[in-house]
Structure formats: C-alpha cells, structure tokens
A and B are shown apart, each in its own frame.
Chain A
Amino acid sequence: MNQIPYAVVKLARDSQRPTGLDYIQNIFADFIELHGDRRYADDPAIVGGLARLQDRYVTVIAMEKGHTAKQRSCRNFGAPHPEGYRKALRLMKQAEKFGRPVICFVDTSGASCGIGAEERGQGQAIAENLMELSTLCVPVISILIGEGGSGGALALAVADRVWMLSNAVYSVISPEGCASILWKDSKKAEEAAACLKLTAGDALRLGIIERILPETELGEKPFYDRIRRALAEELEALEKDPDLVPKRYDRFRRIGQVKERT
C-alpha cells in the first residue's frame, strides 16, 4: 500500500470501474430484479433481487452508479434516497424469511443529499437499516467495490464479513468535505485523504474489514470467478455458524479506541 491515498480515492471514483450491476451480472446466475420499497418509490441507485450463487439462492443488493452520463444521472450517481434504503431493508427481511443469505455491493459517495431525501427521512431510513441488520438471522456479506461514503454506505455494510476491493475507499466523510470543514479549503483534499485513513489497507489494520480483494484482471472473467468462489466458501462457513447474530454484535462492539481516565 504505497499509493497516495488521494490517488486511490480517484481510482475508487473512476466511472470506468465495474459497478454494482456488473458484479451482479458476472458473479450470479438467474438474477431476478425486485423493485420498490412498497412505501413510496423505486430508487434506481439501489438494485436488488434474487439470484443464484453456484447452487444456492441469495438475495443480492447493490448500489449502482452507472457508467455513461445518462446512466449516472438516472442512477443519481449511486446516491440512494430513503426509499433505496427501505427497498434494501425490505429485501433483507424477505431473505431472512426464506433463509437466504444476503450479499451487498457498496459503492456510493454518500446518501443522497437533497430536500426530498430529508423530507422522507434519510436519517431514519439509515438508522433503521443499521438496527435491523444487526440482528438479521441470515449470513450477510458486504463488499465495498468503489466508494464507501459514510452512513450512506454503512447502511448496507452491517455484515458478518466486510470486504474491500484493493482500490476501494471507506470513509466517515469525503476528503473534500473534511478539508473544507477543518481547514476551510477543499483543495486540501489530498492531505485530508491521508489523515482520514480511508484505504483498504487502513480499514484492515483498524479491524473494520476482514479481507482485501485484489484487483488483478479487474472486470474480467477470472476476477469475477475469484469473487464468486470466495463468496461461496465464506457462505458455507457462515451458514454453519449457530452464533451468527451474537458474533455480528461482537464484531462491531469491539470497534473503537478509547482511554480510561481515573
């Protein structure tokens, strides 16, 4: 990990990187997309449905940024609205009902920032996902494939295993946002990116993720084959674990560093 963190941020944001739908189409078979949150609308920034991973059915949920300008605008650049998070939760609950594991692909600069999102309770939608995912009774694996922007990313990443692509980033705030708040200068983003410890290597060292997925042959068949195999193996182990939910609690319970002052 000798790369400059801000260079990784740029790679993570590259519109030519595989997006959520690319992963769904290349890793799984028989994908059937299921739309809508049953409350307000269908959010194109989150795609979800049923799919087959080798010999088992899973629920797969992915943030989708799109590649072309038109796709990206239609997908709101992968920034989900509350209805996107509510659709995701609906599908997770459905997975739980039918005993299917959940696989999430996370790629967003952050939850959608706008009037409608606030009116429809963006904070509440994310909070509910965090809470409900913490006790979902089926295995959950989340893979950060590009940008992992703050609470908007975490809402699909309260999982038993969290993996990151080697050039994905995961951060509490964008480096630009951090620089403009702390130093009143968004041009210091490069410096902020280094301070925020947002690369996959950092996340692994901090105990936030379990595994880094290398990007050799990114977007090609062997790349997806590797991820498919890794997912299948991991699910095999997780499905046998009777203490899935308590272990997920402990996984997050451990995170943080404090001092004891007497």
Chain B
Amino acid sequence: MAFIQFLKPKNALEEGGRTAAPIQQDAGEPEKTCPNCHKPIPLSRLWSSYLVCPCGYHFRMNARQRITMIADKGSFLELFAGIVSDNPLQFPGYTEKLETVQNISGEAEAVVCGTAEIGGRKCCLFVMDPGFMMGSMGSAVGEKITALFEYAMQKRLPVVGFTVSGGARMQEGLLSLMQMAKTSAAVKRHSDAGLLYIAVFTDPATGGVTASFAMEADILLAEPGATIGFAGARVIEQTTKKALPKEFQKAEFVLQHGFVDTLAPRSTQKQLLTRLLNAH
C-alpha cells in the first residue's frame, strides 16, 4: 500500500494530493522517469535501490517506506498516532484539506513517531512525510515531536529524526509558529539530559522546521541533493533579483558552508546511524 502511494505522480504528493491521479499500469513493467537524468527506471529496480536512481537522484519517500528501510524488522512501535490537527482558527478550506490529505496519504498527520531498533539499538524515531501537506508543522506535528522528545528523555533514549518540511503550517497561524519554540525547548531538555539526537535532512527542509528542531541535532546528516534552507529559493530570487549559485541550498552546498556534518546516501544510512548510535 505504501509503495503504491509513492507511485502517484510527484505533483499530487507535492500539492498535498489535491489531484488523486490514477496510477499508470501498462502492459510492461511500470517505469518512472528520473527528473535528474531523464532516464526511465523500472519501478522494481527503484524499489530495490531505496528509491535512488542509478544517477544518484533520491526520489522522495513517504514515512512508512523510510521506517521500513531504517528500523530493524518488526521493531517499530508507533506512539502518539491519535494526535491530529484541528482547525483552531477556522481557516477557510483547512478542515477539508486535512481530510483529503489524510485520505490520500493514509497518514493522520505529517509526522510519524515511535520507538524502534536500528542495528539492535533502541531509540525514538520520528519520520516526516512529504505527502502530508509537504511535512508542514502545525499544532499536531509540534505536539508529537515535543511529546517524543519528552518520552525519550524519560526513557533515556536517543532520538533519530528524518526531516522533510516546507515549514510552519500557515493555516494554524501563530499556533504553528509557536511550535518552533515548543519543540526547541523539548530538544533542549533532552540535550541537557546528555542524550543524543541525530537528524537526517531529506528533500526539502525549509522554513520553520529547519529553523527549529531540524537544525538542533547533535549530529546532522543530509541526503545528497536535498534542499536545505530557511527562505525558499524562489522567494530569495524574487527579493534579491539575483541569479542563485548553481548548487544553492543543496545538501552539498550546506555541507561546504559548515551546517551539516556529512552526506548520507540512502544505501548507507542504516549502517551510519547504527555506528553513530553505537558510539554513544
């Protein structure tokens, strides 16, 4: 089921699934065209390579696919699954949008939290979902992340988190903005307790999530090619009226400028996370 959801055109995912486009199933093996090298890749091959094209392009991955990839088999236990968004400001269209996105993504919110084992090491795990309003943070995401760090502190567990987000969710206005402070305070408490937090930036990580819990980890990993920044590239271009450097805000650029520790291609992530967890 999770895999099928991924096959839907990228646009449907990006727009929070406003258009439930049908899956193209031809007679031959289904293929997907890589937006980087423009070559068709058989889906079976894509799946066996963690949704990475032979050219190195990392396709977006939903939360459940990532959990399958990272957590030891059968080890993931979901927490706070019942916490969902309300429409506190009565923002026009938001309630309907949430319902649509919930139906299409199969997720209740833009982050999935729980405990898992990675290489035999127990940890708290959160994974954000690009298919749920592009991983935007409203009250529910803020509450789940905060609750997870509090839980991790209580149980003295490390936290591993995969971030993907367009930023704070504007339909919850100031309440979304305040989640940046709330999650940051929880990360700080966890950190002050001497506990480890590793974040993995995946495409894209921008706005209020980058400027809060995503950037606050002890160790920051990034998937190659992921966009990482605060302001969106289009907004910067419009504001400055300057052409942006070629690799602007890409993981490689952010590494060069000293804001992530290392690049972690998907095929190496589990092993690297295991080594890091074992070192603490």
Asked whether B173 lies within 8 Å of A196 as measured between CB atoms, the reply is: yes
Indicate which residue in A113, A131, A202, A258 contacts B188 across the interface (CB closer than 8 Å): A131
- Pair B259/A121 contact, Cβ less than 8 Å: yes
Q: Which of B139, B192, B229, B245 contacts A123 (CB 8 A)?
A: B229
Q: Does A244 have its Cβ within 8 Å of any Cβ on chain B?
A: no
**Structural contact, B248 and A172, CB atoms closer than 8 A:** no
- Determine if A114 and B239 form an interchain contact, defined as CB atoms under 8 angstroms apart: yes
> Judging by beta carbons under 8 Å apart, are A122 and B170 in contact?
no
Whether the Cβ atoms of B175 and A115 lie closer than 8 Å is: no
Q: B184–A127 contact, CB under 8 A?
A: yes
Please determine whether A119 and B257 come into contact, CB atoms closer than 8 angstroms: yes
For the complex, give the distance between the alpha carbons of A261 and B180 in Å.
Answer: 23
Flag if B86 contacts A259 (CB, 8 Å).
Answer: yes
B108 within 8 A of A: yes
Give the chain B neighbours of A261 by CB distance below 8 A.
82-84, 108
* Interface of chain B residues 147 through 185 with chain A (CB within 8 A): 168-170, 172-182, 184-185
- How far apart sit A120 and B64, CA to CA, in the bound complex (Å)? 34
Q: A117 near B: Cβ within 8 Å?
A: yes
Is B38 engaged at the interface, CB distance under 8 Å to the other chain? no
Task: Say yes or no: B216 contacts A127, CB within 8 Å.
Answer: yes
Q: Which residues of B contact A258 (CB under 8 A)?
A: 83-86, 139-140, 143
Contact-residue size bin, chain B (C-beta under 8 Å from the other chain):
35 or more
Return chain A residues, CB-CB under 8 Å to B175. 206, 208, 255-257
A182 to B173, CA, bound (A): 13
What residues on A are CB-neighbors of B181 within 8 Å? Answer: 130, 134, 154, 157-158, 252, 255
A24 CB to nearest chain B CB (Å): 24
User: What residues on A are CB-neighbors of B191 within 8 Å?
Assistant: 131
| Minimum distance in angstroms from A107 CB to a CB of chain B | 16
With an 8 A cutoff between CB atoms, is A18 at the interface? no
Enumerate A124-143 residues with CB–CB distance to B below 8 Å.
124, 126-128, 130-132, 134-135
B180 touching A130, Cβ below 8 Å = yes
Contact yes or no, A131 B182, CB < 8 A: no
CA distance A131 to B181 in the complex (A): 7
Q: Is the CB of B83 within 8 A of A113?
A: no
CA of A214 to CA of B279 in the docked complex: distance in angstroms?
56
- B86 & A197 in contact (Cβ 8 Å cutoff): no
CB of A151 within 8 A of CB of B177, answer yes
Q: How far is the CA of A124 from the CA of B261 in the complex (A)?
A: 13
Please name 8 further chain A to chain B contacts, defined as beta carbons within 8 Å, in addition to the given A123-B210, A208-B174, A248-B185, sorted by A numbering: A118-B229, A120-B257, A127-B212, A134-B185, A158-B181, A249-B189, A256-B140, A257-B88
B interface with A by C-beta (< 8 Å): 82-86, 88-89, 91-92, 108, 138-140, 142-143, 146, 168-170, 172-182, 184-189, 191-192, 206-208, 210-216, 228-231, 235-236, 239-240, 242, 244-245, 248-249, 257-259
User: What would be 7 A-B contacts, judged by CB atoms less than 8 Å apart?
Assistant: A127-B214, A131-B216, A151-B212, A197-B89, A208-B175, A253-B185, A259-B84
